[in-house]
Amino acid sequence: MRFIDQFHRRPKDVIQVTKDDDVKIALQEMGWLETIEKKRSLTPFGSLFATYSRHPTHWIMIAHFAGAADPSENGYLLVGFPRSDYSSRTQTERSFDMSLRRA
């Protein structure tokens, strides 16, 4: 079973993934790992955000944080918002809000 299949099994849940290895597995399954890593190589510090809107049950927000003095503050974050409960606009606003709180 693929890691990303948990989203299909939990279509009404907000799902947050914070372990770097798990986020990388999900990104690989979505076909995005290489793209994110390429963009990160161009901007090695700061926050990088992307939204994956092709998943059938969730709006998926991906974040990568780098360059923090405390290494525990660096890494990946993936959050899936159920399409049934969140519009595209709401998801975009939540992503922006999360970026402001993290900065």
> Is 14 a residue whose pLDDT tops 80?
yes
pTM for the full predicted model: 0.78
pLDDT in tens, 17-51: 999 999 999 999 999 899 888 888 887 778 888 88
* SS3 per-residue string spanning 46-100: EEEEEEECCCCCEEEEEEEEECCCCHHHCEEEEEEEECCCCCHHHHHHHHHHHHH
Distances (CA, A) of 39 to 13, 30, 52, 63, 78: 29, 16, 15, 12, 16
57 with 83: CB under 8 angstroms? yes
What value does the mean pLDDT of the chain take? 84
